[in-house]
Amino acid sequence: MGPKYEKGQQIVIKPVQNQNLPLRDFDLQPYVGQRGVITDYYWISLERGVRVFYIYTVKIEDSQTEVVLHEDELEPHID
């Protein structure tokens, strides 16, 4: 299965429900609800390709800050 988002796609950062790592929420909180653009993505394979997940580099529109986010922290931006 390929990435859910592509380079250049506009997204909105969302909070993750039922996340087991509360420290991640604190890092993400200032960006929740902000729009950004996918600038790159990477995949990580666990268990020899059985479980693959993607992480994305996102440029935040308002601040031009780049952050790295998991796929479940993103949703497509629809105009």
> Which one is predicted more confidently, 28 or 44?
44
DSSP 15: P
User: What is the reported pLDDT for 38?
Assistant: 98
- Taking 60 as the threshold, does the pLDDT of residue 44 lie above it? yes
> Which one is predicted more confidently, 14 or 49?
14
> Which one is predicted more confidently, 35 or 23?
35
The answer for residues whose C-beta is within 8 angstroms of residue 67's C-beta and 6 or more apart is: 31, 36, 57, 58, 60
Question: Do 15 and 27 contact (CB within 8 A), yes or no?
Answer: no
Q: Measuring CA to CA, which residue among 61, 5, 55, 6 is closest to residue 31?
A: 61
**Nearest-angstrom CA–CA distance, 53 and 8:** 19
Q: How large is the average pLDDT for residues 30-35?
A: 92
Q: What is the pTM of this model?
A: 0.82
Q: Measuring CA to CA, which residue among 11, 16, 41, 38 is closest to residue 27?
A: 16
User: What is the reported pLDDT for 33?
Assistant: 93
